[in-house]
């Protein structure tokens, strides 16, 4: 795990004044990475940037890298990543001798087109919230909601990397086969039970060789950082197709990721102990370690908001659907996901994405999907303007937000992951 150093100093301030505003997602203690291009520019190539306040620092223009390959940067050894973070922190701090030179390398975020933060080669989606697994399982198996393997093995499936889209991208409602409980045969048409899933995307930095598992004590050396992730889901298509091999067309039509990867180094002040609830089985030895027990969890708040087409037309701001805590939602830590994913010799590569699965807390106001909040569509949710939702309608915009805060540390944020449903 990354140790605290001078880059985490809560008294540190930046010469980029917007980074010093209270509640800013991207203070100098954060320094997340992403890819961008100048909006309207004839140059369509993507550059590596670091978010600082409401600006983006172009790393190549600042002389910090000599390439625009984000995946190559992510593949660097942990010590190299720490050194780059320290250079960024020193150069962006008040009084830095780099201010004059680096000011010319700043681009307002409002003038940028932000992309998926790296090239995603492979994408695995996990199922790390025991509350979500129980809530959804209860809808399919009322007498046996949680399958017996859940508390022993991190459950996951391989997703579709090509349909991962950047925040702000609208997507079309998917079509597929569904079957009503009283129907003799399935029908084909638009999804009627479209849902969101509040997730985190854990990005791999350094990879591992085929056949060489990553031990849990070294797992975080292979994690670059985290972003917000919305794995949109067609619940009616899913219900018909998921047996016996799991999700397919119900998941691969679009998954939204936020544009900034908050590094594991930036998360250091917000680590928390990991433990199993009393009476639950302890992890098998390859999923257990002193470091993971001491600081495997992360103190992070996760929020979901909705803005319907009517709200937008009436000039109403998005309204909150849920607010929860990561460490209350996640039954497995990111280090355990890496250790399990590689224990059979699977080789991870820089830029690979591991979805956390829907992160739901112990109550419905901390749930990470409408399928849970509406109890499978049986209990409509009434929004402040009187509209009701069981599942998403055309024109709905969903916004995910996340942030870390703790006494003695500066609050850092993950930005937003937003998407709008098209007919």
Cβ proximity of 274 and 292 under 8 Å: yes
Alpha carbons within 13 A on the beta-carbon side of 286: 14
251 is in an annotated binding site: yes
Cα-Cα-Cα-Cα dihedral of 209, 214, 219, 221, to 10°? Answer: -40
Q: How far is CA 7 from CA 4, 81, 108, 416, in A?
A: 8, 13, 23, 24
Give the pair of three-digit tokens for residue 52. Answer: 């600082």
**3-class DSSP state for residue 401?**
strand
Which position has the token pair 């996951």? 156
Give the pair of three-digit tokens for residue 40. Answer: 């309207």
80 is in an annotated binding site: no
Tell me how far apart the alpha carbons of residues 300 and 328 are, in angstroms, rounded to a whole number. 10
172 is in an annotated binding site: no
138 is in an annotated binding site: no
Q: b/e string for 241-264 if b means 16 or more Cβ within 10 A?
A: beeeeebebbbbbbbbbbbbbbbb
127 is in an annotated binding site: yes
The residue annotated as part of the active site, out of 8, 67, 131, 132, is: 132
185 is in an annotated binding site: no
66 is in an annotated binding site: no
Residue 132 known to be catalytic: yes
Residues 6 or more apart whose Cβ sits within 8 Å of residue 394: 173, 309, 421, 422, 423
Residues 6 or more apart whose Cβ sits within 8 Å of residue 303: 320, 322, 323, 400, 401, 402
Question: What one-character DSSP code corresponds to residue 70?
Answer: H
CA torsion through residues 228, 234, 374, 313, sign: positive
State the CB neighbour count (10 A cutoff) for residue 116. Answer: 24
Enumerate the β-bridge partners of residue 164.
Answer: 255
Bond from prior residue into 296 cis (ω within 30 degrees of 0): no
Cβ proximity of 332 and 355 under 8 Å: no
320 is in an annotated binding site: no
**3-class DSSP state for residue 312?**
helix
Q: Where are the beta strands (DSSP E) in 26-163?
A: 33-38, 47-52, 55-58, 106-108, 112-114, 123-126, 156-158
378 is in an annotated binding site: no
125 is in an annotated binding site: yes
Tell me how far apart the alpha carbons of residues 174 and 243 are, in angstroms, rounded to a whole number. 20
231 is in an annotated binding site: yes
Annotated binding site for substrate: 127, 141, 238, 242, 358
Q: Which positions make up the binding site for Mg(2+)?
A: 231, 251, 255
Task: Please give the annotated binding residues for Ca(2+), written as ranges.
Answer: 125, 197, 199, 231
Per the annotation, where are the binding residues? 125, 127, 141, 197, 199, 231, 238, 242, 251, 255, 358
List residues with catalytic annotation.
132
């Amino acid at each position: 795990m990354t140790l605290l150093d001078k880059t985490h100093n809560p008294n540190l301030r930046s010469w980029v004044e917007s980074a010093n505003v209270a509640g800013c997602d991207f203070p100098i203690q954060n320094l997340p990475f992403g890819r961008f291009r100048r909006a309207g520019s004839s140059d369509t190539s993507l550059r590596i940037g670091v978010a600082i306040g409401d600006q983006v620092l172009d790393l190549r223009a600042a002389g910090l890298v000599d390439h625009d390959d984000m995946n190559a940067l992510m593949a660097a050894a942990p010590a190299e990543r720490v050194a780059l973070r320290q250079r960024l922190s020193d150069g962006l701090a008040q009084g830095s001798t780099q201010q004059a030179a680096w000011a010319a390398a700043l681009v307002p975020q409002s003038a940028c087109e932000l992309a998926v933060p790296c090239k995603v080669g492979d994408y695995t989606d996990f199922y790390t919230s025991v509350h979500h697994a129980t809530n959804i399982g209860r809808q399919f198996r009322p007498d046996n909601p949680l399958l017996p393997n859940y508390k022993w093995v991190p459950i996951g499936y391989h997703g579709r990397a090509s349909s991962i889209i950047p925040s702000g991208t609208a997507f079309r409602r998917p079509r597929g086969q569904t079957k009503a409980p009283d129907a003799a045969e399935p029908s084909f048409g638009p999804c009627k039970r479209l849902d969101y899933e509040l997730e985190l995307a854990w990005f791999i930095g350094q990879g591992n060789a085929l056949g060489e598992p990553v031990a849990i004590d070294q797992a975080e050396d292979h994690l670059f950082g985290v972003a917000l992730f919305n794995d949109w889901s067609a619940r009616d298509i899913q219900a018909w197709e998921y047996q016996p091999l799991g999700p397919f067309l119900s998941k691969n039509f679009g998954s939204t990721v936020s544009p900034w990867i908050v590094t594991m180094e930036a998360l250091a002040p917000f680590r928390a102990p990991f433990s199993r609830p009393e009476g639950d089985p302890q992890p098998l030895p390859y999923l257990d370690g002193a470091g993971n027990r001491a600081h495997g969890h992360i103190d992070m708040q996760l929020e979901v908001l909705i803005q319907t087409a009517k709200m937008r037309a009436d000039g109403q701001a998005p309204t909150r659907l849920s607010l929860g805590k990561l460490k209350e939602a996640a039954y497995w830590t990111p280090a355990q996901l890496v250790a399990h994913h590689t224990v059979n010799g699977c080789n991870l590569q820089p830029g690979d994405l591991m979805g956390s699965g829907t992160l739901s807390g112990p109550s419905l106001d901390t749930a990470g999907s409408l399928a849970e909040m509406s109890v499978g569509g049986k209990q409509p949710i009434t929004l402040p303007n009187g509209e009701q939702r069981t599942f998403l309608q055309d024109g709905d915009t969903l916004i995910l937000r996340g942030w870390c805060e703790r006494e003695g540390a500066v609050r850092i944020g993950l930005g937003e992951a937003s998407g709008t449903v098209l007919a």
